Chain A
Amino acid sequence: MRSVIETAPAEDVCILDTEASPEHLSRGTARYADGLLAVVEPYFKSLETGRRMAALAKDLGLERVALVANKIRDERDLAAVEEFASQHGLEIAGVVPFDEQLIGAERAGVAPLDFDERSPAVEAIGKLARDFVGER
C-alpha cells in the first residue's frame, strides 16, 4: 500500500480510507499521506481513539493532522469535542452534524451524495474537503 501511495501523482487528490485500528497507522500504511483526518464522535472513547491516531500520525511526520467532529447533534456535542481538542492541542478541521439523511442513505444502500446531495452532513463534508485540500 505504501508503494501505491508513494507513486500517486501529487497534483491529484488521493484519499485513503484507512483501518480503524491505530496499529495500522503505526505500521506505516498512512506514512506517505500529506495529512490525516481522524474522525471522532462526541464521546470519550471515540475522542481518545482519535487522539491516539493523531499522535501517531504526528510521530510519523504527517504535515497536517486534525480531528473531524462527526455526528454532532447540538452545542453540547460540539463543546465536548472542542474542549477535548484544546486540551490536547489538536485542530478541528471540520464539524459534520448528525444527519438522518446519512442513515437513510445507508438503509437504501446508496451513497450519501446520491441520496440527498443537499443534506446538512453532505454540505459540511464538502466544506471540510475544500478547507482541507484547498479551493479550486
Chain B
Amino acid sequence: MAVAGKGGSGKTSISGTMARLLARDGRKVLAIDGDSSPNLALTLGIPQDRMSSMPTLPRDLLDRSGGGAVLTKTLEEICASHSVRGPDDVTLLVMAHPQHAGTG
C-alpha cells in the first residue's frame, strides 16, 4: 500500500506505526521510504546513525536496455545489501537520499 499526504500531515508517523504494528501481528513487512527527505526510519524506531552508514541504492540497479526497466538484482539481494532491519523485524528500504531527489 502507498501512504501519501501533504508535508506535515502525519503520513510518515502513520506509515511507520502501521508497519511496526502489522509486523507485531506476525506479518513480514517491508517499509519503503520513497520521500526525497527520508525520515521513515525515525518513526520506525531505527536510530539515525544506522541510517547514515547505509549505502544509497546503486544507479546500475535497473537495466533499461530492453526498453522498460528491469531489476538487475532480486529484491532479496537488494534488501541484503541496502536495507536495515528495525524493531519488530520491519525491513526498511530507502529509495533516495536528499541529494538524489527526483531520481527515485
Contacts and interface: CB of A to CB of B under 8 A. Distances in A.
Given A13-B30, A14-B30, A16-B34, A41 B10 contact: yes
B13 interface: yes
A15 B4 contact: no
Given A13-B27, A18-B3, A125 B35 contact: no
A71 B14 CA distance: 11
A133 B1 contact: yes
Interface range for A: 35 or more
Nearest to B63: A3
Interface string B48-86: 000000000000001000000111001100100000000
A128 B14 contact: yes
B32 A4 contact: yes
A75 interface: no
Interface range for B: 35 or more
B98 to A, nearest CB: 12
Given A17-B11, A114-B45, A122-B17, A40 B32 contact: no
Given A16-B32, A112-B13, A112-B16, A30 B2 contact: yes
Contacts of B34: 1, 16-19, 24, 29
B75 A13 contact: no
Contact of A112 (B4, B17, B93): B17
B30 A8 contact: yes
Given A17-B32, A29-B104, A125-B21, A112 B6 contact: no
B33 A17 contact: yes
Interface of B: 1-7, 9-22, 25-36, 40, 42-45, 62, 69-71, 74-75, 78, 87, 93, 95, 104
**Can you list the 10 inter-chain pairs with the closest CB atoms, starting with the nearest?**
A39-B5, A111-B45, A30-B2, A17-B15, A33-B2, A129-B18, A12-B28, A39-B11, A125-B17, A7-B75
